[in-house]
């Protein structure tokens, strides 16, 4: 019988290829440091054991949530189901001319993998350095930063299809990547990502025209940058702008940059010339959520321990002991404030898990 008292310590059971924890705390498994608990936590070391795990009645008949490093999630209560944490490891490289095809286990840390690719002389992921999370989480969110999205370098995603009960290989088209979006977000719970296959070149044109990268390279005294120079510049920029989750609880950028019709973007730009906005190839405009939030007066604000970082307006922070409901209530206050001032409704970037 599963433990159901919130104050009981987690009971641990070792199985071949995975470990089960009953009544498990998730406080150390989400970067917002919300003290939520899971009815059952399964830490999976061997992807081949997933079918066996998922056939347990307690797992099969309940809710399921796949969790990486918890850097893109907000718990607003305890999770009355099974949390699957992929702890698989492994990197396999096949060289194909000037392109390396690299299969990476879902449990590998994203930042460790990016730094490994740079050390091996591969290009492409340098703008995505220092993003928290696991490799398996990267395609779900289609993580992006400094003008680059991971989808550009993903060849395929391997996953366990819980609906069809089989291993599925989804190519880039099947993943349906879009801005901070993918098929995995539109069919939550269906796919458990077990590995990601990347195609990385030895050389490519560097992406420098975004958010101060060229200026940072100039400060570094670099006039002929290589990928590792760009990565170092991005590290400098991110550490200056974004609070460290190890120091203060946060999930990085909490709000998506809104996409609006051209007429809306043009009208806002006319009314607010200082607004950061970018016309897209599809005729719509992407607006800076950070600018909208700061212009609405929320940067640096807090209620109790929930607030917006004084370093970057996109970042919702936990100053100490804010609960999930308190953080979500403050985020909703920001969303409503921006909509009231500018007529644009922001959306959260992390997954918000409601109680139950």
pLDDT in tens, 263-299: 999 999 999 999 999 888 788 999 999 999 999 999 9
Who contacts 263 (Cβ-Cβ below 8 Å, separation ≥6)? none
Nearest to 132 by CA among 122, 120, 119, 141: 141
Residue 290 lies in a domain: yes
Q: Do 277 and 183 belong together in one domain?
A: no
Q: Do 53 and 107 belong together in one domain?
A: no
Residue 99 lies in a domain: yes
Active-site hit among 180, 182, 197, 296: 180
Q: Do 40 and 72 belong together in one domain?
A: yes
Nearest to 34 by CA among 312, 336, 331: 331
Q: Is 253 a catalytic residue?
A: yes
Active-site hit among 156, 253, 296, 309: 253
How far is Cα 299 from Cα 294, in angstroms, rounded to an integer? 5
Q: Do 81 and 98 belong together in one domain?
A: no
* CATH number of residue 171's parent domain: 3.30.465.10
pLDDT, one tens digit per residue, over 116-171 is: 999 999 999 999 999 999 999 999 999 999 999 999 999 999 999 999 999 999 99
Given pLDDT bands bounded at 50, 70 and 90, which one contains residue 6? very low
> Where does a domain end: 201, 229, 261?
201
Given pLDDT bands bounded at 50, 70 and 90, which one contains residue 10? low
Q: Do 81 and 97 belong together in one domain?
A: no
* Torsions phi, psi for 259 (to 5 deg): -105, 125
Residue 224 lies in a domain: no
Q: Is 180 a catalytic residue?
A: yes
Task: Give 241 or 325, the one with higher predicted confidence.
Answer: 325
> Where does a domain end: 38, 58, 86?
86
* Residues spanned by the domain of 57: 11-86
Number of structural domains the chain divides into: 3
Tokens 């492994």 locate to: 90
Q: Is 345 a catalytic residue?
A: no
DSSP state of 123: -
Given pLDDT bands bounded at 50, 70 and 90, which one contains residue 7? very low
* Torsions phi, psi for 169 (to 5 deg): -110, 110
Cβ atoms of 44 and 64 closer than 8 Å = no
pLDDT, one tens digit per residue, over 35-59 is: 999 999 999 999 999 999 999 998 9
Who contacts 203 (Cβ-Cβ below 8 Å, separation ≥6)? 98, 123
Q: Do 186 and 283 belong together in one domain?
A: no
Question: In DSSP terms, which residues pair with 315 in a beta bridge?
Answer: 253
**Positions of E strands within 111-248:** 144-145, 148-149, 154-161, 166-171, 191-201
Distances (CA, A) of 309 to 51, 55, 104, 124, 218: 42, 43, 33, 30, 28
How far is Cα 287 from Cα 270, in angstroms, rounded to an integer? 13
Q: Do 259 and 337 belong together in one domain?
A: yes
pTM of the model: 0.86
Cβ atoms of 149 and 142 closer than 8 Å = yes
Nearest to 46 by CA among 84, 91, 88: 88
Tokens 């990928």 locate to: 227
């Amino acid at each position: 019988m599963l433990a159901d008292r919130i104050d009981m310590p987690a009971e641990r059971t070792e199985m071949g290829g995975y470990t089960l924890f009953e009544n498990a705390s998730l406080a150390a498994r989400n970067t917002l440091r919300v003290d939520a608990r899971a009815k059952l936590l399964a830490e999976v070391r061997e992807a081949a054991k997933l079918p066996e795990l998922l056939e347990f009645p307690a797992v099969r008949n309940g809710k399921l949530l796949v969790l990486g490093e918890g850097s893109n999630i907000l718990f607003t209560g305890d999770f009355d189901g099974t949390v699957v944490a992929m702890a698989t490891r492994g990197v396999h490289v096949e060289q194909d001319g000037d392109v390396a095809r690299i299969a990476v286990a879902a449990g590998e840390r994203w930042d460790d993998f990016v730094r490994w690719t740079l050390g091996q002389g591969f290009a492409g992921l340098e703008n995505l350095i220092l993003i928290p999370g696991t490799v398996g989480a990267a395609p779900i969110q289609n993580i992006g930063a400094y003008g680059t999205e991971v989808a550009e370098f993903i060849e395929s995603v391997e996953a366990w299809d819980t609906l069809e009960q089989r291993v599925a290989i989804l190519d880039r088209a099947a993943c349906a990547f879009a801005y901070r979006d993918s098929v995995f977000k539109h069919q939550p719970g269906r796919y458990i990502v077990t590995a990601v296959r990347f195609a990385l070149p030895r050389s490519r044109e560097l992406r420098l025209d975004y958010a101060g990268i060229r200026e940072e390279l100039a400060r570094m005294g670099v006039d002929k940058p290589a990928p590792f120079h760009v990565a170092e510049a991005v590290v400098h920029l991110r550490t200056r702008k974004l609070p460290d989750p190890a120091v203060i609880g946060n999930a990085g950028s909490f709000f998506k940059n809104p996409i609006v019709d051209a007429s809306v973007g043009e009208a806002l730009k006319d009314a607010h010339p200082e607004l950061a906005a970018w016309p897209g190839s599809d005729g719509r405009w992407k607006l800076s959520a950070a600018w909208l939030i700061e212009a609405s007066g929320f940067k640096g604000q807090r209620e109790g321990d929930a607030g917006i970082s004084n370093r970057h307006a996109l970042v919702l922070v936990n100053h100490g002991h804010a609960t999930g409901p308190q953080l979500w209530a403050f985020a909703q206050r920001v969303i409503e404030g921006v909509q009231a001032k500018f007529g644009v409704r922001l959306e959260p970037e992390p997954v918000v898990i409601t109680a139950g």
